[in-house]
Structures are given as C-alpha cells and as structure tokens.
Amino acid sequence: MNVYLAVILIALIGEFALRSIARYLNLKALNPKLPDEFEGVYDEDKYRQSQEYTRAGAKFAYVSSTFDLCLMLAFILMGGFNLVDGFVRGLNLSPIPTGLIFFAILYFVRDIISLPFALYSDFVIEERFGFNKMTVKTFVLDQLKSYVLTIVLGVPLIGGVLFFFEKAGSYAWIYAWGLIAFFIIIAPPLFTTLIAPMFNKFTPLAEGELKEAIQRYTAKVKFPLTEISVMDGSKRSTHSNAYLSGFGAKKRIALFDTLVEKHPVAELVAVIAHEVGHHKRKHVLKGTVLSILHVGFLLFLLSRFVDNRGLFDAFQMEGTSIYAGIIFFSILYTPIELILSVGLNYMSRKHEYEADAFAAETIASPAPLISGLKTLSVSNLGNLTPHPLTVFLNYSHPPVLQRIAALRQFSNPSPSS
C-alpha cells in the first residue's frame, strides 16, 4: 500500500475513533444528580432536559461524523478526486482558474451533501429543545449569502495562493503566508463592518440603566468603547452571547438581544468585563499572532509536499497540480492539525480564566459573573459534567463548574485596571 495512503487512512479513522470514544465517555459522565453549585438555579426538569440535549447532540454527531468519514474514504478509494480533476482539466483553462473551479466543485458539492444534516440540526434538534427561531426563508437566505461571501473572499485568497505556488518557486510559501496573514488581520474589521450586518440587524443600545452602567465600567478600566449595539440574535436562536470587536481606539460591543432579555444589569456588566478582560490581557493579539504563525508553519510544510508524486498516487491521480496538492496535503496534515487544535484549545481555556479573573478584580466581586455564568448555562442547557477527554479535545472554554470554582478564589479582590 502507498505509504501516504496508509498514513491518511490511519489519521482519518484514528481521529474518528478518538472523537467517538470522547463522545461515549462524555455521555457516561452525565450525572443525574444536580451539582450543589446549581441548587436553586436548575430545576429538576430543566436539568434533565439539559442532559437530553447533550445526548441528542452526541447521537447526531455520531451519525454525521460516520457519514463524513464514509464519504471521504469512498471518495479517496474510488478515485473521486481524479474524476473531478479530469473534468476541470477538460475545460482547457489556465492553472489558476482550473484550480478555483476544482476547489469550488469540492466545496459546493460537499456543502449540498451536508445540507440535510444542517437542516436536521436546526429544525429538529434545536427546535425540539426550544432554541430554533429560524424560518426556512432565513436559512435559505443565510446559505445564499454564505455562498456569495465564499466566492467574494475565497477567489482572491485561494487564487492568490495558487498564483504564488505556480509562479514564485521556492519562495511561494512566504508570499502566500503574507497574503493569508493580511486576510487574518483584516478579517475582524471586515466581519464587523460588512459581514455581520449582512446576517443580523444591529441597533444602538437604548439610553438607560444598562448603558450607563456599561459606560461607567469601561471608563473605570480605561477601555476605549465607541459603540454598544444590540444584535437580533433571536432571529435565529434563543442562545445567548456577546462579543467585542474593533482595533485601536475604536471598540464595539455587541450584545445578543436574548442576553439582554435574560440577565440583570449587574450580570451584563460582568459579561462585558469578561470581554474587556480579553482585550486588556491582549488575548486577541496573541491569538492573531498564533494564527499567523500556524499558517506559516502549514504553508512551509505544504511547500515540501505540494508536488509529491507519491501523495498524488495515494489519491489515484493521473496528473499533478498545485490545487490538488493543497487539498491532499490538508488531509495528510490531519494528525498535526489535531495536535495543534488541542494546544490552541488549552491556550483558549487559559485565556478564559484570565478574562474571568480580570472581571472579578475590576468589578470587585466575582458574584455577578458567577451568577451570569449560571444563567447562561441554564438558558443554553449547558452540560455541567463534561468528561475530561471531551474538554481536552474540544473545549475552547473551561467547564462552567471549573470557571465558577476559580472565581470563588476572588472573594476579596482588589480593584485594578
């Protein structure tokens, strides 16, 4: 057997097995006894419903991941990539448009095949547990907008990478790294100003107690807040969230309308304080730098494999090409990507603890954030007892009970900025 094919099969099946074991252990870790910390917060029926939600999600993940694995293995072993390559080469275009069409076919066909799973997730599972508020019309419009964005942003990005690897020789990965780094840097302001408004309506937070409390807090910690908006998250779901965006002296806070509806002012300010903590501790900057370094590492390795004949033989390809080599390397890269994702998730969990600590210190009490975390967990039917392996592999945030335990250490914090 081709050595690259063996590595790819072991990687794909191994990751599937590992994640399946994690889901199994996660379900075994569900405890029908409500943790003492949530006594009086979760009622018996709601807590049982949260565990049913976890089970439903795990069962759905089993089915969808099994389907994905079988589809990928069949496509590889039956020479599916070569069939697509033969079609796009038959168009007799130059390498870059040929590559773009190759990527487009794989992306859109895969997305259409996965459409029933997305529909089931939103309109069956989320609907069953009272989260889904999306109409079929909104779902279809979201899909169409996503396709437009994929074309508008994907063509120059992927086209640029293909151009450099076609024309720049041994320096191609460096030029491609610069291009992708540029996209990573402009992505946040692009999302805030252009992309997010395509999907949601943002309304300035009304004058009143909440706005005044947020402004007092941000002034206290010297946070350059320029805009507070309420986003119509309830258009799609009853899940709650908030996020901070912007660079330099212009910062914007967006609150889901569902968050504003479910939390008192003190909890909302604590949530804002947590988001400000990410800014003050430079987590966004660190994450951006790590993402750029990650891409550079990936592109350097790609430059060593992109025209490897043995890799193409693993996929039963008759010819070689830069565009196909990128796809094949991304599949070969699966084990390394898994290891890196575990490391990035660990760092993210560490940052969440740091942001929680900042909120507790600057508010001079952990109580509002603890209360807010409990309310969020209940309203989102969060799993209170995830298995450590699931946390290790998948969680970008620490389990809520661990976050609360850490916050309890700040019983007598001293205010700071």
Q: What proportion of the chain, given as a percentage, has pLDDT over 70?
A: 97
The Cα angle at residue 157 between residues 154 and 161, in degrees rounded to 5: 130
In the chain, how many domains are there?
1
Q: Where does residue 310 rank: exposed (0-12), middle (13-18), buried (19+ CB within 10 A)? A: exposed
Question: By residue range, what is the domain housing residue 217?
Answer: 202-262
Is 379 inside a domain boundary?
A: no
201 three-state secondary structure: coil
Is 248 inside a domain boundary?
A: yes
CATH of residue 237: 3.30.2010.10
The Cα angle at residue 34 between residues 33 and 37, in degrees rounded to 5: 140
204 three-state secondary structure: strand
Query: Using 50, 70 and 90 to split pLDDT, how confident is the model at 251?
Result: confident
* 136-173 per-position pLDDT tens digit: 999 999 999 999 999 999 999 999 999 999 999 999 99
Tokens of 53: 């939600």
Query: Using 50, 70 and 90 to split pLDDT, how confident is the model at 410?
Result: confident
307 catalytic, yes or no? no
- Per-residue pLDDT at 43: 87
Q: What proportion of the chain, given as a percentage, has pLDDT over 90?
A: 83
Is-contact 407 361, C-beta < 8 A? no
Tokens of 168: 């720049």
Query: Using 50, 70 and 90 to split pLDDT, how confident is the model at 392?
Result: very high
Ordered strands of the 202-204 beta sheet: 202-204, 225-231, 251-256, 242-245
Is 247 inside a domain boundary?
A: yes
- Per-residue pLDDT at 249: 65
Taking the C-alpha atoms of residue 304 and residue 315, their distance in angstroms, rounded to an integer, is 18
Is 302 inside a domain boundary?
A: no
User: Can you say how many angstroms the Cα of residue 354 is from the centroid of all Cα atoms in its chain?
Assistant: 20
Is 25 inside a domain boundary?
A: no
* 210-239 per-position pLDDT tens digit: 999 999 999 999 998 888 999 999 999 988
Element (H, E) at 160: helix 136-167
Classify each residue of 217-254 as buried b or exposed e, where b means 16 or more C-beta atoms within 10 Å of its C-beta.
Answer: bbeebebebeebbbbebeebbbbbebebbbeeeebbbb
Annotated catalytic residue: which of 275, 318, 352, 361?
275
Is 213 inside a domain boundary?
A: yes
45 catalytic, yes or no? no
Is 105 inside a domain boundary?
A: no
Classify each residue of 76-108 as buried b or exposed e, where b means 16 or more C-beta atoms within 10 Å of its C-beta.
Answer: beeebbbebbeebbeeeeebbebbbbbbbebee
Nearest to 415 by CA among 222, 284, 208, 265: 222
Annotated catalytic residue: which of 85, 126, 352, 356?
356
Is-contact 321 85, C-beta < 8 A? yes
Nearest to 373 by CA among 35, 31, 29, 32: 35
Amino acid, res. 340: L
Is 362 inside a domain boundary?
A: no
Phi, psi of 93 (to 5 degrees): -100, 170
Q: Where does residue 37 rank: exposed (0-12), middle (13-18), buried (19+ CB within 10 A)? A: middle
* 74-95 per-position pLDDT tens digit: 999 999 999 999 999 999 999 9
* 1-59 per-position pLDDT tens digit: 799 999 999 999 999 999 999 999 999 999 999 999 999 888 888 999 999 999 999 99
Mean per-residue pLDDT, 357-381: 94
Element (H, E) at 228: strand 225-231
Radius of gyration in angstroms for the set of CA atoms belonging to the chain, rounded to a whole number: 24
Mode of pairing for the β-strands spanning 242-245 and 225-231: unpaired
- Per-residue pLDDT at 101: 97
Could you count the other beta carbons within 10 Å of the beta carbon of residue 172? Answer: 21
Asked if residue 61 has pLDDT above 80, the reply is: yes
Helix ranges, 196-236 (H): 196-199, 209-220
